[in-house]
Structure 1
Amino acid sequence: MAPRLLFQALIFVCITVLAAILGPFGSYEHGVFLDRLVYWTVLNAVSFAIALSLIHITRSAAPKLHGFWREAILCALLTLFFTPFLQYWTVWYFDHLNAENPDLISMGTAVFSVAVCISILRHGIPYSFAQKTEKTEPPLENEEYLPKLLERLEPQQRSPIQRVSVDGHKVLVVMQNGEQELRMRFSDAVAELEGVPGFATHRSHWVAEYAIKAVATNDKGRPELHLHNGDIVPVSRKHEQNLEDRGLVA
């Protein structure tokens, strides 16, 4: 399971169990723990499904939309689509307890408030990661960052690899102490990078995690990686998930 999926699963379980125990928004008064656990499990599962679907739709429909405006639209759409289900599910599930029918406006306000809080948390994780990457440049003597690919390079240039890319019929290996071209397939070069924390950002680009300084957006609204050495690496739509899995983008 990908790190991001595992993280999402753990968040789902923690939120569900915690909600069942604490019974927020008045649910504590409407049933025992098992009743609340079922209620919050269904509620959170639907909210997660709607939220992930909306994120996918907005990225496909408006790829240039980022930051505040995308999050604002997502929060508004989530409130619009999830609140009716929340009211229906609450009334139907707790009907046998003669619970008071919830007010749609108050529920919508609660949904929007929670969505905003989650949005803030989602953007806080990439910021924390960006701060961390400023200090993770590996020392030259660290054997952990000396992969098999370095054996093909000139001894005086062997140093932590920053990125690898396709250059015509060759592969360009950019290191901390310089760069060198190798006549080999890109897939073989990536295979020989085993042990180095990194990932593909494009069908012809690979980058080491410790080389990333920041994530920016280009003129076309696509994310791109800015490295410590000043290089800029593109990110294709197919490989954007690799950034999400590492918390680089929300």
Structure 2
Amino acid sequence: MLLLAGIIGFMGPFGTYMRDGLPGRIGHWWLLLMGAYILVRPVIWLLRRLALRIDLSVSITVFSGVSLCVVPLAFLWRNVGRTAFRDLDGFTGLLPFSFLCALTVLVVTHWAEQTDRRLAQRGILPPPADAPRPEGAAATSPAEPALRHRLSAGFAGPILALQSEDHYVRVHGAGGSELLLMRLRDAIAEMEGVAGAQVHRSWWIAHRAILRCDPAGRSWLITLDGGLSVPVARDSVARLQRAGFLPAS
């Protein structure tokens, strides 16, 4: 935040370059940006866990909550930076600026988390907290995919399917599902050694999990063990038929 405050302070937007020296402008903008971070960052953390608990879309929930932070953030800045508040023509100019700053905190937070995960995959950093390795993982059968090590010890049964949900992947098992913060293609890569296929842009399924396949218009609907229904993309039908995932037409 100090680096960003230094850049903004050097630029001196909204007429601040005429009012204070560079150190004063940097300090002024640092206070405003830290106010945004202190307010928005905990909201992101809380809303993510709320969305996961009640099975809502994580991206929509977090974005909506961050958008609502704009009003208290504007009031905070009004009290901390009264001069800047006047320069922005009151709430008319301050609310859009507050929204941009709150959105910046959200984007930077997401970028930092994704960077940590990429570094963890390369072994530079330890795995993130929401991708725990269960106790006894070192003794796990080598036949199990690497993705299994990211799941909790309470995850029941083999992995049946992977479902993309915003920036998360829902891992379906025989006894329930768990969410992991990662891309679907990365999760599929960690299923190496398990016979399966991506049947839709949002779905990967294990071949052994297929219970039945039913026609659905010009496509198919695959039912897995446990009753989970998975759609098949039309442009994937021929490929899946050749691979033996779907019956021939």
TM-score by length of 1: 0.48
TM-score by length of 2: 0.48
